Structure 1
Amino acid sequence: MNKKLVIAFLASGAVTISGCTTFADMVGADSATLNATATQGFNQTIDEARSNKTLDTSSATYKRINTVFLNLKPYADQLNQTGIKFDWQLAVLKSDQVNAYVAPGGKVVFYTGIVNKLNLTDAEIAAIMGHEMVHALEEHSKQKIGAQALTNIALGVGLSAAGVGDTGAAAAQLGSQIGVGLPYSRSLESRADQGGIMLMARAGYNPQSAITLWEKMNKLDGSGGASFLSTHPSNTQRIDAMKQNLPAAQALYNKSIKRS
C-alpha cells in the first residue's frame, strides 16, 4: 500500500473499509473480540488483586467510587451506540498510583491514589469516570489499534492487533494489551473530555468539577507527575476547550437537578 495513502488514512483513526467494517475489524480487533479480551484480562486483574490483597471492596474510597460508577452507568448505557451491550464492571485497586483507565466493553479500573492524593470530590470522581466511560463508548481503543495496524503497514512491519488475543495477569498488562496503555490522540482525548462532562451532567454531577479536577492534575504534575497524566495529557488547552462546552453541560446538569 502506498505510504502516503496510509498516512492519509491514519488521520481518521480506525479506517472504515466498507459499511461499518473498520481496519481494526480486519486485523482481528472487532468489537466483540476486544470486549472478550478485555473481560478476560479484567478478570485476571481482579484475581491477582484479590490474591495480593490490593483489591478494595469495602473502604470509604471504594464506596464513593462505586456510587459514582453506579450513578453514571444507566446514562452511559443510554449513549451506547456500539451495537453490543456493555457489561460494566469496576475494580478499585489499593495503590498510591494516581491512575484510572477503562478497557473495551466497560471494564473500569480505578486506583485509590487518584482519589486520595488529589482529595477529589464526588463530582471530580464523576469527571474521571465520565471521561473513561466515553473512551469505552466511542471505542477509542479500537481506533488506536486500527491506526497502529496502518502505521505498521507504512513501516513495512506487517499487521498488528496491539496484542489482541494475549492475556495478562496484571492491571498494567490489561491496560496495554487492548490499546489503553499508550496515549490517545488529542482528538480522542478531546472527545472524551467533552463527552465526559456531558455524561456527568446527565447523572447530576456539576460539570464545573471537571475543570477543578484538571487544575488539580496540573498541580500534581508540576510537583512530580502522575501515572494518569502519562496516558491522559493535561494542559491549559484542554481546560479551555472544556470551559467552552460548559454552558451546554450546565444546561443538562440543571435539567437533571430539576428531575431529582
Structure 2
Amino acid sequence: MNKNIWMGLCVAGTLTLSGCTTIADMAGADTATLNAAASQGFNKTVQEANSNKTLDTSSATYKRIYAVFNRLKPVADQYNQTGTRFDWQLAVLKSDQVNAYVAPGGKVVFYTGIVNKLNLTDAEIAAIMGHEMTHALEEHSKQKIGAQALTDIALGIGLSAAGVGQTGTAAAQLGSQIGVGLPYSRSLESQADQGGLMLMARAGYNPQAAITLWEKMNKLDGKGGATFLSTHPSNTQRIDAMRKNLPAAQAIYIQRK
C-alpha cells in the first residue's frame, strides 16, 4: 500500500487500532514500554511536586478528586481490554492551571485550578476523570505515536534502525510529556467523550454533568482560555455529539440508581 494512503487512513481513524498501534509497536512504543515510561515520568512529577510543596494530599479539593478517582477505578478496570492490568495512580497538584491529563497505564494528574476555578461538582469532576481514563484505556497516546511515525515515513524519514531507536527514546520521555502536547484528533476526542459518559454513568454519576462541564469550559475559554482546552478542544459540535450519546448513558445511570 502506498505509504501516504496508509498514513491518511491511520490519521483519519479508519485503521487506528490495527494500523497506528502496530506502527507504534514497531517504533519501540509498545504498551509495556509506554506504561513503564509513563510510570517513571509520573513518579518524577510526584517527587518534584512533593519537593516544591505543590503536591496536594490533604485539601478538600484533593479529597473530592480522590473520592471520584477511587469510585471510577473499578469501573475502568472492567473496561480495560489492553491485555495489561493498569496500576491506576492519581496526583493532585496545587496550581491555578485549569488542566488535567492522563499518561499511559492509568497515571492521572489533576490540577486544583480546574476544580476550583470552574466550581465543579463531583459529577463534573467524574466527567473529566472518565474522559481521561478512556484516553488511557483506548491507548490513544500509542495511536498518536503511531500516527506520528507514519507521518515521518511520509516525509521520507522512515523507520530505520536509527529511527526506531530515536522513537524509543522519545517514548521514554512520554511520561512527562503526555497530556500536555498536541491535541488528540477529533475522532479520539469523540471516543474519549463517549467512553467517559459511560464510565461516569456506571460509577453512579449523572452523565448530564458532562454537558455542563464543557459549557463551563467554553465560557472560561472566552475569558482567556484554559490549559485543558489546548489539548482537549471544546466546541459546540462536541457538546452536540455528547447530547446524542447522552440517552444511552442516562439509561445506564438510571438503571444503576
TM-score normalized by the length of structure 1: 0.91
Q: Secondary structure at the match of 2:109?
A: strand
1:145 maps to: 145
Q: What is the 5 A alignment of 1:93-132?
A: 93-132=93-132
Matching of residue 24 in structure 1 with residue 24 in structure 2 = yes
Q: Any gaps of 5 or more consecutive residues in structure 1?
A: 168-172
Identity %: 76
User: Does the CA-based 8 Å contact 2:131-2:192 persist in structure 1?
Assistant: yes
User: Does the CA-based 8 Å contact 2:7-2:150 persist in structure 1?
Assistant: yes
Q: Secondary structure at the match of 2:92?
A: strand
Residues 127, 153 of structure 1: alpha-carbon distance in 2 compared, 3 angstrom cutoff: same
Q: What is the 5 A alignment of 1:100-249?
A: 100-159=100-159, 160=167, 163-166=170-173, 174=176, 176=177, 178=178, 181-249=181-249
2:12 maps to: 11
Taking the aligned partners of 2:34 and 2:238, their CA distance within structure 1 comes to: 28
Q: Secondary structure at the match of 1:43?
A: helix
Residues 229, 34 of structure 1: alpha-carbon distance in 2 compared, 3 angstrom cutoff: same
Which residue identity lines up with residue 170 of structure 2 in the other structure? G
Deviations 1:3-33 (A, max 9, x none): 344333433364636xx97111111110010
> Which is richer in helix?
2
Matching of residue 38 in structure 1 with residue 38 in structure 2 = yes
Q: Which moved more, 1:78-87 or 1:156-165?
A: 156-165
1:48 maps to: 48
Deviations 1:214-245 (A, max 9, x none): 00000000000000000000000010011011
Q: Any gaps of 5 or more consecutive residues in structure 2?
A: 160-166
Taking the aligned partners of 1:130 and 1:10, their CA distance within structure 2 comes to: 24
Residues 3, 111 of structure 1: alpha-carbon distance in 2 compared, 3 angstrom cutoff: same
**How far apart are 1:136 and its partner, in Å?**
0.3
**How far apart are 1:165 and its partner, in Å?**
2.0
Which stretches of structure 1, 4 residues or more, deviate above 6 A after TM superposition? none
**How far apart are 1:255 and its partner, in Å?**
1.6
User: Does the CA-based 8 Å contact 2:7-2:147 persist in structure 1?
Assistant: no
Q: Secondary structure at the match of 2:9?
A: helix
User: Does the CA-based 8 Å contact 1:148-1:162 persist in structure 2?
Assistant: no
Taking the aligned partners of 1:231 and 1:127, their CA distance within structure 2 comes to: 16
User: Does the CA-based 8 Å contact 1:99-1:227 persist in structure 2?
Assistant: yes
Residues 126, 15 of structure 1: alpha-carbon distance in 2 compared, 3 angstrom cutoff: closer
TM-score normalized by the length of structure 2: 0.92
Which residue identity lines up with residue 16 of structure 1 in the other structure? S
- Count of equivalent residues: 248
1:67 maps to: 67
Taking the aligned partners of 1:139 and 1:224, their CA distance within structure 2 comes to: 31
Residues 152, 121 of structure 1: alpha-carbon distance in 2 compared, 3 angstrom cutoff: same
Taking the aligned partners of 1:153 and 1:103, their CA distance within structure 2 comes to: 25
